[in-house]
Amino acid sequence: ICAKRINQMFKDNPKDRPIIIALTANAMKEDEKKCLNAGMDAYIAKPFNIEKLRKMLILIERDKKKVKL
C-alpha cells in the first residue's frame, strides 16, 4: 500500500519519485511478483550485501534514464 501511495504522490513528476526496494526474508518468486506489482522498483531477499544493493540501484537509475517519463 505504501509503494502505491508514494507512486501516486509523484504521478505528476515521476522523475522525482524515490526508488522503492523491497527487503524481505521471503525468497519466493511469488513474493517478488507481489512487491513489483505493488509498485516497487526492485526486490532483495535477505541475506544481502551492500554491493548487491549498490548494483541494483545503479541498474534502476539507468532504467529510469532510458524511460521517458
Task: Give per-residue pLDDT as tens, 7-65.
Answer: 999 999 888 899 898 888 877 888 888 888 999 988 888 888 899 888 888 888 887 76
In this prediction, residue 68 carries a pLDDT of: 41
C-alpha distances out from residue 7 to 21, 29, 37, Å: 13, 23, 12
In this prediction, residue 10 carries a pLDDT of: 94
- On the 0-12 / 13-18 / 19+ scale of CB atoms within 10 A, 6 is middle
The set of cell numbers assigned to 56 is 541494483
